[in-house]
């Protein structure tokens, strides 16, 4: 049992690592849900309490297709020892940068990724108070992994504190809500998740939780 779980997580980590070329070489700490077709992924992020001391930390919620070829992600970018929160599509395909908002420790950010009409074209937005940036990527790609990630490039230390997601709402096509569990899959991270609940209506599963806290493994 233990062995099977470990193997499947290793396969998953390998899949993610090999997936997005622009992110090769990074250390990933992730939690994720999988479903056949995500329709939206929204929530808030509390900017970690400290500035990074250096290096390249990318913190994000994101969506990936089953082959993990690309990732749609509002990224809390900690390069140059400060935070910035912006919209991106990275991998194959890569999209033009989608704008962003300023961020300082403890700010309450908002993100929104929405599958327009269910056709796999994606609206993405980042907000901080009354700052707001959004774009649309018309890629026709269905997303099957909803990921919460701390991605650290070589030489980067997780010294900025915990990453907390709040008020998360994830919707997916269909009626099978079993993926929406407090036993969210993790790789290389400590997690605490609270308030997980799901509902099904009109062939849409809605999964909500109150908080997900990621801390160093």
Ligand X SMILES: *[C@@H]1O[C@H](CO)[C@@H](O)[C@H](O)[C@H]1NC(C)=O
When the beta carbons of 135 and 185 are compared against ligand X, the nearer one is 135
Q: How far is the CB of 84 from ligand X (least distance, A)?
A: 14
Tokens standing for residue 66: 């089953």
Per rule CB under 6 A, is residue 114 in the interface with ligand X?
yes
When the beta carbons of 95 and 166 are compared against ligand X, the nearer one is 166
| HSE-up of residue 202 (Cα within 13 Å, Cβ side) | 3
When the beta carbons of 137 and 158 are compared against ligand X, the nearer one is 137
Q: Report helix, strand or coil for 183.
A: coil
Q: How far is the CB of 20 from ligand X (least distance, A)?
A: 24
Per rule CB under 6 A, is residue 211 in the interface with ligand X?
no
Per rule CB under 6 A, is residue 123 in the interface with ligand X?
yes
Contact 208, 168 (CB under 8 A): yes
Spatial CB neighbours of 202, under 8 Å, sequence gap ≥ 6: none
- Omega before 193 cis (within 30°)? no
Contact 164, 107 (CB under 8 A): no
Binding mask 157-186 for ligand X (x = CB under 6 A): ---------xx-------------------
Q: Minimal CA–CA distance to 57: which of 158, 201, 128?
A: 158
**Total residues belonging to the chain:** 217
Q: Minimal CA–CA distance to 79: which of 100, 42, 54, 101?
A: 54
- Residues from 19 through 48 that contact ligand X (CB under 6 A): 42, 44
Per rule CB under 6 A, is residue 108 in the interface with ligand X?
yes
Per rule CB under 6 A, is residue 109 in the interface with ligand X?
yes
Per rule CB under 6 A, is residue 189 in the interface with ligand X?
no
114: enclosing H helix or E strand = strand 108-116
Span of 28-36, 71-79, 121-129, 201-209 interacting with ligand X by CB under 6 A: 121-129
Task: Write out the residues near ligand X by the rule CB under 6 A.
Answer: 42, 44, 108-110, 112, 114, 123, 127-129, 166-167
């Amino acid at each position: 049992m233990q062995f099977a779980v470990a193997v499947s997580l290793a396969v998953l980590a390998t899949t993610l690592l090999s997936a997005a070329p622009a992110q090769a070489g990074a250390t990933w700490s992730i939690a994720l849900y999988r479903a056949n077709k995500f329709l939206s992924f929204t929530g808030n992020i509390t900017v970690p309490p400290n500035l990074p001391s250096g290096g390249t930390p990318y913190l994000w919620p994101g969506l990936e297709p089953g082959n993990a070829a690309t990732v749609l992600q509002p990224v809390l970018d900690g390069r140059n020892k400060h935070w910035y929160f912006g919209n991106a599509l990275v991998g194959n395909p890569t999209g033009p940068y989608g704008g962003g908002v300023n961020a300082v420790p403890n700010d309450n950010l908002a993100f929104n990724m929405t599958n327009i009409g269910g056709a796999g074209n994606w609206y993405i937005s980042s907000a901080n108070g009354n700052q707001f940036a959004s774009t649309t990527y018309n890629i026709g790609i269905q997303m099957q992994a909803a990921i919460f990630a701390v991605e650290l490039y070589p030489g980067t230390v997780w010294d900025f504190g915990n990453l907390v997601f709040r008020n998360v709402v994830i919707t997916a096509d269909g009626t099978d809500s079993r993926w929406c569990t407090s036993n969210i899959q993790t790789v290389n991270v400590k997690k605490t998740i609270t308030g997980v609940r799901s509902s099904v209506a009109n062939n849409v599963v809605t999964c909500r939780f109150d908080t997900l806290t990621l801390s160093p493994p």
